[in-house]
Chain A
Amino acid sequence: MTLETVGFWGLAVVLLASSLAVVLARNLFHSVLYLAMALVATGGVFLLLDAAFLFGVQLLLYAGGVVTIVVFAIMLTEQLVGERIRQTSRRLAPGGVVAVGVFVGVLVSLGRVSLPTARPPFPGNQTAALGEALVTRYVVALELLAILFVATLLGALYFARPDD
């Protein structure tokens, strides 16, 4: 058992358990906290895959930003104490059938293809290569992303405007 194997199984258990808790917890606030745990565990998987920069991005944007926004949204739309934060689920059986069906479908198609088992060495510094790719080959997409963020900002401001 190498360190990577131990880390992978540990992270897999944490990730799957917290994912299940996100969709099954009755308290909406607990769901968000479990989501934060799942996001950090995903960041750990990125570390196992030698993507240290993405681990940082994941922690900052996802576990930091997204979870904060969701907590704010819950505080604005639910009462933290009392019955309203309790959430019920509906149509558990059909939902479970669809989810298991999709999983089995992926499982079957994964069993049919042969995938690489060894990791080829990455040429050079991965983070530096990522940065270089962003401002050369993918520069148009990066600029479009900037436009998307401006649009998002304007949209959020529009929704947050006071009633008049």
Chain B
Amino acid sequence: MGLHAYLLLAAAVFTTGLFGVLTRRNAVGILLGVELMLNAVNINFVAFARYNAEIAGLVFALFTIAITVAEVAIGLAIVIAIFRVRQTVDADHLDLLKG
């Protein structure tokens, strides 16, 4: 298997996540799409690290995973805070900042 195969797989997962982000109404559903996209990026990092015998890609993937966990924790805390105020997590109804 060459590097191409891994990059193609990652691209397919990334675009699937992008589709989810664009089409989901539920805020949690949108976050799940973002998770898929970040995950696909990690595959790229690790694949490039392996095929170039370079440790930097692994370090980068490790940092991405750690920061994603922090992002999910805060993102979902915001979703729950919004739910407590507005009683909905439908992204189409959360337009308070709309000018």
Contact = CB atoms under 8 A, between A and B. Distances in A.
Contact of B32 (A62, A70, A96, A155): A70
A77 B83 contact: yes
A62 B65 contact: yes
A102 B39 CA distance: 17
Interface residues of A, number: 80
Interface string A130-164: 10011000100100010011001001100110010
Contacts of A22: 16-17, 20, 32-33, 36
Chain B contact residues, majority secondary structure? helix
Interface residues of B, number: 67
A80 interface: no
A70 B1 contact: no
A57 to B, nearest CB: 6
A64 to B, nearest CB: 10
Contacts of B59: 130, 133-134, 138, 141
Contacts of B47: 49
Contacts of B12: 16, 19, 103
Contacts of A31: 29, 32
A163 B85 CA distance: 11
A98 interface: yes
Given A51-B58, A116-B3, A130-B62, A95 B22 contact: yes
A54 B39 contact: no
Interface of A: 4-5, 8, 12, 15-16, 19-20, 22-23, 28, 31-32, 35, 38-39, 42, 45-46, 48-51, 53-54, 57-58, 61-62, 65-66, 69-70, 72-74, 76-78, 87-92, 94-96, 98-100, 102-103, 106-107, 110, 115-117, 119-123, 126, 129-130, 133-134, 138, 141, 145, 148-149, 152, 155-156, 159-160, 163
16 contacts: A8-B9, A19-B17, A23-B23, A45-B43, A50-B50, A73-B76, A74-B28, A77-B80, A89-B23, A103-B12, A115-B2, A115-B51, A121-B53, A130-B62, A148-B67, A156-B73
